[in-house]
A = this chain, B = another copy of it.
Amino acid sequence: MNSSLLRQTLHAANLRATAARMAVLELVRNASTPLSHGEIAELLRDGPWNRTTLYRNLIDLEKAGLVRRTQLGEPVWRFESTAKEHGVRSHPHFLCSACGKMVCLPEMTLRLEGARGCRKAIGQGNIEVQVRGLCDACMGKRGI
């Protein structure tokens, strides 16, 4: 993606086309996987930009709809007893993105197909599955 097209894209989104912002957008657009702020700062460490600037640019790009921002999980560890009935086998967990409550889904079955780059893990079932969204209670509160 050339520089003038990046500039044009940013202007169309009502954002100024600064060097840092263009670098960030180019990087994210060319990436084959979602990148973290840390990875981006590392990739652009030879540039003259501050970490915070890159961070704020990512947030700006998100607000403008040019990038999607997801936190796949939450920044805390969870502990559960291994003695519990449903704790015997691994099971998916549902995490409510509104209230933060976690629900075990011991009876949930899921079928995964079409994996690329992680066939072995999925084939063997040595995986941890997390589903994230609004729980029924929080949906109710929002009248959904």
Contact = CB atoms under 8 A, between A and B. Distances in A.
B96 A80 contact: no
Given A75-B75, A80-B68, A82-B68, A33 B117 contact: no
A35 B80 contact: yes
Contacts of A139: 120-121
Contacts of A115: 94, 105, 108
A117 B136 contact: yes
Nearest to A87: B68
Given A34-B93, A70-B128, A133-B127, A114 B108 contact: yes
Given A34-B102, A132-B127, A66 B93 contact: no
A62 interface: yes
Contact of A117 (B31, B75, B94): B94
